[in-house]
């Protein structure tokens, strides 16, 4: 896509290399995902947990559409909304350490519940694998993962989420709440960051 044909905020004009997925296409895909995900649950309450911060926009749009969708019994799905903070990246490199914000008490409260984790992107898959490993000790009834993006990378640990919006090439992507050192969350489209962008916002 040529950048001039879409609205990229002026302050990011030189920081974005190309638009990979325009906002409208993201929204169309999420509408479809909301239908599919909702239709695969029965009438039990689902804890929908946003993996902060990157998953926040996808979470909001997905939940709003799931509220209007019907489950496999033709009914609306009862949802509890929750938030988890998981942090692993600095600049565009995984730090290898995954920090999960949930307390022991919060984790124990998940026992017997259906959990749907909403994540922005699976890259190596290590963050999600660690999170799922931790959760596996707490006797949940079900755990599913919806990730807006799945990166095609040779560094993948093989983990594949239950629901994926789009596959993206092995580039560092930003926008639609995905960040580079907390920058670019205020960009509607999913974009490839430029060298200028990387230099401008490196820490």
Site residues, Mg ion (CB under 5 A): 54, 89, 120, 179
Give me 87's structure tokens: 């942090």
DSSP string covering the chain:
--GGGS---GGGTTTEEEEEE-HHHHHHHHHHHHHHHHHT--SS-EEEEEEETTTHHHHHHHHHHHTTS--TTSSPPPEEEEEEEEEEEETTEEEEEEEE---HHHHHTTTT-EEEEEEEEESSSHHHHHHHHHHGGG--SEEEEEEEEEE--TT--S---SEEEEEE-SS-EEBTTB-BTTBSTT-SSEEEEPHHHHHHH--
Among 21, 77, 125, 191, binds ligand 5GP (CB under 6 A): 125
Please provide residue 22's backbone torsions phi and psi, each rounded to the nearest 5 degrees: -65, 155
Work out how close the CB of 162 gets to ligand 5GP at its nearest, in angstroms, rounded to a whole number.
Answer: 15
Q: Is 126 in the site for ligand 5GP (CB under 6 A)?
A: yes
Q: Which residue is nearest to Mg ion, using beta carbons?
A: 54
User: Which strands sit side by side in the sheet containing 114-122, from one edge to the other?
Assistant: 93-100, 79-90, 46-52, 114-122, 142-151, 163-168
Site for ligand 5GP in 154-183 (CB under 6 A): 172-174, 178-180
Options 20-28, 101-109, 119-127, 131-139: segment touching ligand 5GP (CB under 6 A): 119-127
Work out how close the CB of 22 gets to ligand 5GP at its nearest, in angstroms, rounded to a whole number.
Answer: 17
Active site residues: 123
Q: Is 89 in the site for ligand 5GP (CB under 6 A)?
A: yes
Among 94, 162, 185, 198, binds ligand 5GP (CB under 6 A): 94
Work out how close the CB of 140 gets to Mg ion at its nearest, in angstroms, rounded to a whole number.
Answer: 20
Residue 88, binding choice from Mg ion, ligand 5GP, none, Cβ under 5 to 8 Å by partner class = ligand 5GP
Options 13-21, 101-109, 114-122, 136-144: segment touching ligand 5GP (CB under 6 A): 114-122
Q: Is 124 in the site for ligand 5GP (CB under 6 A)?
A: yes
Footprint of ligand 5GP on this chain (CB under 6 A)?
Answer: 54, 88-89, 94, 119-127, 151, 172-174, 178-180
């Amino acid at each position: 896509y040529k950048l001039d044909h879409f609205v990229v905020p002026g302050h990011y004009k030189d920081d974005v290399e190309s638009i990979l997925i325009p906002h409208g296409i993201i929204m169309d895909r999420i509408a479809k995902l909301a239908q599919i995900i909702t239709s695969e649950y029965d009438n039990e309450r689902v804890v929908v947990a946003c993996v902060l911060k990157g998953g926040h926009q996808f979470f909001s749009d997905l939940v709003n559409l799931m509220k209007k969708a019907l489950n496999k019994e033709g009914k609306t799905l009862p949802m509890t909304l929750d938030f988890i903070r998981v942090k692993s990246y600095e600049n565009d490199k995984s730090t290898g350490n995954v920090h999960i914000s949930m307390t022991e008490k919060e984790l124990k409260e998940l026992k017997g519940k259906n959990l749907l984790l909403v994540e922005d992107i699976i890259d190596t898959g290590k963050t999600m694998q660690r999170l799922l490993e931790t959760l596996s000790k707490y006797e949940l009834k079900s755990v599913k993962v919806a990730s807006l993006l799945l990166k095609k990378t040779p560094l993948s640990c093989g983990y594949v989420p239950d629901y994926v919006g789009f596959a993206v090439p092995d580039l560092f992507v930003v926008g639609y709440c995905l960040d580079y050192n907390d920058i670019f969350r205020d960009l509607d489209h999913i974009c490839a960051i430029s060298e200028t962008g990387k230099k401008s916002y490196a820490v």
